[in-house]
Amino acid sequence: MKIGFIGLGIMGRPMAGHLQAAGHAIYSCANRTPMPDELLEGGAIACATPAAVATEAECLILMLPDTPDVEHVLFGADGVVQGVKPGTTIIDMSSIDPIATRDFAARLEALECNYVDAPVSGGEVGAKNAALTIMCGAKQHVFDKVRPLLELMGKNITLVGDVGAGQVTKVANQIIVALNIEAVSEALVFASKAGADPARVREALMGGFAASRVLEVHGQRMIDRTFDPGFRIRLHQKDLNLALAGARSLGISLPATANAQQLFSSCVAHGDAENDHSAMVTALERAANHLVSG
Summarize pLDDT for 97-139 with one digit per residue, the tens. Answer: 999 999 999 999 999 999 999 999 988 889 999 999 999 999 9
HSE-up of 291 (CA within 13 Å, CB side)?
Answer: 7
Of the residues 2, 85, 155, 170, only one is catalytic, namely 170
Which residue type occupies 120? V
Is pLDDT of 174 > 90?
Answer: yes
Report DSSP state, residue 9.
S
The two most distant CA atoms of the chain are separated, in Å, by 64
Q: Where are the alpha helices (DSSP H) in 59-212?
A: 67-75, 98-109, 123-128, 140-150, 165-193, 198-205
Tell me the C-alpha to C-alpha distance, in Å, between residue 119 and each of 23, 150, 166, 235: 23, 11, 6, 13
Q: How far apart are CA 21 and CA 135, in angstroms?
A: 23
Percent of the chain with pLDDT over 70: 100
Tell me the C-alpha to C-alpha distance, in Å, between residue 171 and each of 10, 131, 167: 20, 19, 6
Tell me the C-alpha to C-alpha distance, in Å, between residue 255 and each of 242, 243, 248, 260, 292: 14, 11, 12, 9, 26
pLDDT of residue 123: 86
Stated pTM of the model:
0.90
Q: Which of 24-38, 93-107, 219-233 has the lowest mean pLDDT?
A: 24-38
- Rounded (5°) CA angle 225-231-77: 145
Is pLDDT of 78 > 90?
Answer: yes
Is pLDDT of 141 > 80?
Answer: yes
- Residue 227: pLDDT band (50, 70, 90) is very high
pLDDT of residue 94: 96
pLDDT of residue 34: 79
Is pLDDT of 35 > 90?
Answer: no
Burial of 190 (C-beta count, 10 Å sphere; 0-12/13-18/19+): middle
pLDDT, the chain, mean: 96
Beta-strand runs (E) in the chain: 2-6, 25-28, 45-46, 59-62, 89-92, 114-117, 120-121, 132-137, 154-161
Q: How far apart are CA 32 and CA 114, in angstroms?
A: 26
Among 115, 67, 65, 64, which residue's Cα sits nearest to residue 90?
115
- Residue 230: pLDDT band (50, 70, 90) is confident
Question: Which H or E run includes 290?
Answer: none
Catalytic residue flag (residue 145): no
